[in-house]
Structure 1
Amino acid sequence: MLQVLKNRVYRHLYAAQLVALTGTGLATVALSLLAYDLAGDAAGMVLGTALTIKMTAYVVVAPIAAAFAERVNRRRMLVTLDLLRAGVAVCLPFVTEIWQVYVLIFVLQSASAGFTPAFQATIPDVLPDEQDYTNALSLSRLAMDLESLLSPALAAALLLLVSYDSLFWGTGLGFVASALLVVSVALPSPKPAKRHGIYDRTTRGIRIYLNTPRLRGLLALNWVSAALGSMVFVNTVVLVRSDLGLAESAVALALAGFGLGSMLAALILPRVLHQVEDRSVMLAGAVLGMGAMGAAALMSQLVPMTLALLSLFWAMIGFGYSTILTPSGRLLARSAHAADRPAVYAAQFTLSHACWLIFYPLAGWLMTVGGATFAMGVLAIASLAGATAAWALWPRHSGQPVAHSHPDLPPDHPHLAGAGPHSHAIIIDELHPRYPQEP
């Protein structure tokens, strides 16, 4: 897996991801303390509103940013957005009103909504070999899981020495370091052969996404991962602190179970994906996560839930969650031409976060009105529905050549190469606006 770090460009991009994630982790801790400083007991409402603003920015801004991405140099765009995020981070220590937090969070997350899909779309251009790209996806998943485990510990250590305001300066430094690493290498910046209007560029990624059968299956799997993850991320603190009556440190242990399961999946997936098709692996992950959630709901009715048992279920869900998400970049890379990848990655960013925008508040509401067993049961059923939809929407061997014809093209068109009906793997573009049906 680590051999991909021999590629200098990818090594710098991966380091940029690591320092930016560390900065983001520090900001998460600092923001919760800032909210408590400004709102006291109402801090939860402030954070909930900030999270909603974050998801709204992701859903709305990502496709718009992708529309402009094809017109600008990709490296310049990434560096500019990193510096914008750094500027916002260093403004946060000076806020005195809650509305200022909301405004800055919207700007920060809007910049992230432009940065993340463009950054992700660059990796398959840097690592064109699919096995190398698979290893890179696993390394990226490991980085995110390690951040969730280590950043709180780092923040706690720093808070022994400095005030929480200083953590925002650490966040700003992380984004500046990311910008310096990005600017230190030359990045591919493919341009479309044909220029498109603003509406076409804004909607292009979503149209490609929804017209590609395997990506429609991926959308259903995004639904599953959001249903599973929302229970863990939203309700673990309530489960541990209220239901189990344990200390704050136990919350971290339960979440560590989820993170360790996710990391284990990321470590073994490159070898598995070399032998088993993505569809089977990702559907198996969905079934495992859904089964673990349903088993946790059932077990909570039969025996008293303990921290060890909860951590075990969370680890299984984390394994399934990572098994769904890690290979998704391979599907996106295969499903778009290089010039269209930023738009397609932005569509994935938008549509997956739309699922989270549904399940974040739903998970909290289910827990509030019905308790843990009810919430886990409903979210397990929602996961089952998503897995079933993915199985139905994503045909087997969807990357194989499909026989089709182009009656609208002249016989001497370069795409036909003198042939009438022909066969090749389908990527949605101007010549193939919809997936053809095999005769």
Structure 2
Amino acid sequence: MSGLFGHRDYRHLFGAQLVALFGTGLTTVALGLLAYDLAGAEAGAVLGTALAIKMITYVTVAPIAGAYADRVPRRVLLVCLDLVRALVVLALPFVDQVWQIYVLIVVLQSASAAFTPTFQAVLPDILPDEPDYTRALSASQLASSLESLLSPMLAAAALSVVSFHWLFTGTSAGFLASAVLVVTTRIPNAVRSHRGGVWDRTLAGVRISAATPRLRGVLGLNLVVAAVGSVVMVNTVNYVQDTLGRSQADVALLLAGNGAGTIVAALLLPRALDQVAERTVMLTGAGVLLGGITGAIALSTAEAGGWRWAAAWVVWAVIGIGTGLILMPVGRVLRRSSRASDRPAVFAAQFSLSHACWLLAYPIAGWLATAAGFTPTWIVLAVLGVAGFAGAALWWPRRDPGVIEHTHDEIEDPGHLTDAIEDGDGVWRHSHEFVIDDVHRRWPASVR
């Protein structure tokens, strides 16, 4: 890992990610408390609506941003988006109506929907070696996990002396620091896509994802992450304060337990991925998540007792482990499933499609829990997670080679067939690293 941080540009980008993550982590805690302050017992519904709006924004804005990511200098784009996020967060402490939260969430998350996939697509360009890129993915997941662990602790410490409104100031400072670090980084511009039309560029990543079996499997796993993760993101505030009768600081501590689990996964995975296929690791993570939500359902039906706090911390940590096992390898899967010119679109599609799953799960976790309670809500989310797991196992075949033998019966670029062997009747056969692109629009039937 030390060699990785010897890379100046990566070091600066990692620092930008880290400070922005910690700022965002403070906002995650503060936004939940702001919703509780404004809506009381209906905080879950308010937070569920806010997060649903966030997901709608992500789903719609990310593909459009991906279509234009190769048309503007990426460093300029990232800095401007950081500045927009810093300004919006500064306005959140002055909110006194629920609808104002919703408006600011739209602006804030539009900037994030453009920033995150652009940032993710930069890493493969500055770290072309697979081992370095794998370590960078691990470091990125570790940073996210440390944020999940430490920022709630920082929030808990801050809440003991100041109002939660001041947490938004920390977020704004994080975005400003991120902008400064991006300015000092040499970021290559994206390889310009050969796709001409805006509509074609916008939908390219979705089409590639739909036509690639392993990416369809990733979509199923995204559903598992969203279904189980929404329990943590939406229901923690009300579960801790209303069901367990504990303090605001304990909300932060339970979220920290979830982050601790993800850290464990991030530390173990780099070496594991040298020995075990991504499919195996990620399906194992889905199984761990389903085990976690089963534990949560059991807790929701248990009789009152002090032991429930310790048990909840363990369950939230297990959910964190499962989340890390799925999310950390995703970048490797996306990288080997796309050409450099299509990579921004594929990363944007993953960002959009994964958040479409959150868009489905968040309202269930928020609205259904408010109307019917935790037990039926978490059972519904568990069923949704099982469906995602089944889809992933079915769509992502066990045999998933990189080099695939395939045939062409017609092709616009004859140069592509220089190493091919004629198989009769104008059919040509050859093998190479296979991805969906303009020359290969369908996955070979023999390995679907």
TM-score scaled to structure 2, two decimals?
0.89
Amino acid at match of 1:53: I
Contact between 2:46 and 2:366, CA under 8 Å: does it hold in 1?
no
Contact between 2:9 and 2:185, CA under 8 Å: does it hold in 1?
yes
Q: Judge which range, 46-55 or 151-160, deviates more.
A: 151-160
Q: Judge which range, 296-305 or 63-72, deviates more.
A: 296-305
- CA 1:222–1:41 in structure 2 vs 1: closer, same or farther (change >3 Å)? closer
Q: Does 1:427 find its partner at 2:429?
A: no
Stretches of structure 2 lacking an aligned partner (at least 5 in a row):
421-427
2:81 paired residue number: 81
Q: Take 1:242 and 1:29, find their aligned partners in 2: how far apart are those partners?
A: 16
The DSSP-based 3-state class of the residue aligned with 1:187 is: coil
The DSSP-based 3-state class of the residue aligned with 2:349 is: helix
Q: Take 1:169 and 1:337, find their aligned partners in 2: how far apart are those partners?
A: 40
Q: Does 1:173 find its partner at 2:181?
A: no
Amino acid at match of 1:436: P
Contact between 2:156 and 2:253, CA under 8 Å: does it hold in 1?
no
Q: Does 1:345 find its partner at 2:347?
A: yes
Q: Take 1:266 and 1:78, find their aligned partners in 2: how far apart are those partners?
A: 26
Matches within 5 A, 1:207-226: 207-226=207-226
2:9 paired residue number: 9
Matches within 5 A, 1:166-205: 166-192=166-192, 194-205=194-205
Q: Judge which range, 154-163 or 270-279, deviates more.
A: 154-163
Contact between 2:222 and 2:354, CA under 8 Å: does it hold in 1?
yes
CA deviation map 1:98-136 (0-9, x unaligned): 544433221111010000000011111111222222221
CA deviation map 1:38-57 (0-9, x unaligned): 66776665544332221111
CA deviation map 1:224-246 (0-9, x unaligned): 11111112222233333333334
The DSSP-based 3-state class of the residue aligned with 2:415 is: coil
Question: Structure 1 residue 327: deviation in Å?
Answer: 0.7
2:407 paired residue number: 405
2:416 paired residue number: 415
Q: Judge which range, 251-260 or 204-213, deviates more.
A: 251-260
Question: Structure 1 residue 148: deviation in Å?
Answer: 2.3
Contact between 2:44 and 2:238, CA under 8 Å: does it hold in 1?
no
Amino acid at match of 1:379: L
CA deviation map 1:299-325 (0-9, x unaligned): 765776622222222222221111011
2:281 paired residue number: 281
1:312 counterpart (308, 314, 329) = 314
The DSSP-based 3-state class of the residue aligned with 1:432 is: coil
Matches within 5 A, 1:39-438: 46-93=46-93, 98-158=98-158, 166-192=166-192, 194-298=194-298, 306-409=308-411, 413-419=414-420, 420-438=428-446
The DSSP-based 3-state class of the residue aligned with 2:441 is: coil
Q: CA RMSD in A?
A: 2.7
Contact between 2:194 and 2:341, CA under 8 Å: does it hold in 1?
no
CA deviation map 1:261-304 (0-9, x unaligned): 11101110001111000001111111122123224435765776
Amino acid at match of 1:404: H
The DSSP-based 3-state class of the residue aligned with 1:274 is: helix
The DSSP-based 3-state class of the residue aligned with 2:434 is: coil
The DSSP-based 3-state class of the residue aligned with 1:270 is: helix
Q: Judge which range, 312-321 or 104-113, deviates more.
A: 312-321
Q: Take 2:355 and 2:192, find their aligned partners in 1: how far apart are those partners?
A: 27
Q: Judge which range, 71-80 or 150-159, deviates more.
A: 150-159
Q: Take 1:363 and 1:212, find their aligned partners in 2: how far apart are those partners?
A: 31
Q: Take 2:116 and 2:141, find their aligned partners in 1: how far apart are those partners?
A: 14
- Work out the percentage of aligned pairs sharing the same amino acid: 56
Contact between 2:48 and 2:234, CA under 8 Å: does it hold in 1?
no
Q: Take 1:313 and 1:176, find their aligned partners in 2: how far apart are those partners?
A: 35
Question: Structure 1 residue 213: deviation in Å?
Answer: 0.6
Q: Take 1:293 and 1:162, find their aligned partners in 2: how far apart are those partners?
A: 34
Question: Structure 1 residue 249: deviation in Å?
Answer: 3.8
Contact between 1:403 and 1:438, CA under 8 Å: does it hold in 2?
no
- CA 1:91–1:246 in structure 2 vs 1: closer, same or farther (change >3 Å)? closer
Question: Runs (4+) of structure 1 moved beyond 6 Å?
Answer: 36-42, 302-305
Question: Structure 1 residue 363: deviation in Å?
Answer: 2.2
Question: Structure 1 residue 218: deviation in Å?
Answer: 0.1
Question: Structure 1 residue 369: deviation in Å?
Answer: 4.9
Q: Take 2:321 and 2:42, find their aligned partners in 1: how far apart are those partners?
A: 34
Amino acid at match of 1:424: H
Question: Structure 1 residue 426: deviation in Å?
Answer: 1.4
Amino acid at match of 1:143: A
Q: Take 2:98 and 2:234, find their aligned partners in 1: how far apart are those partners?
A: 22
Q: Take 2:370 and 2:257, find their aligned partners in 1: how far apart are those partners?
A: 24
- CA 1:360–1:120 in structure 2 vs 1: closer, same or farther (change >3 Å)? same
The DSSP-based 3-state class of the residue aligned with 2:446 is: coil
Amino acid at match of 2:11: R
TM-score scaled to structure 1, two decimals?
0.91
Q: Take 1:340 and 1:147, find their aligned partners in 2: how far apart are those partners?
A: 30
Contact between 2:44 and 2:366, CA under 8 Å: does it hold in 1?
no
CA deviation map 1:56-96 (0-9, x unaligned): 11111111111111211111211121122223233445556
2:423 paired residue number: none
- CA 1:128–1:255 in structure 2 vs 1: closer, same or farther (change >3 Å)? same
Q: Take 1:193 and 1:298, find their aligned partners in 2: how far apart are those partners?
A: 50
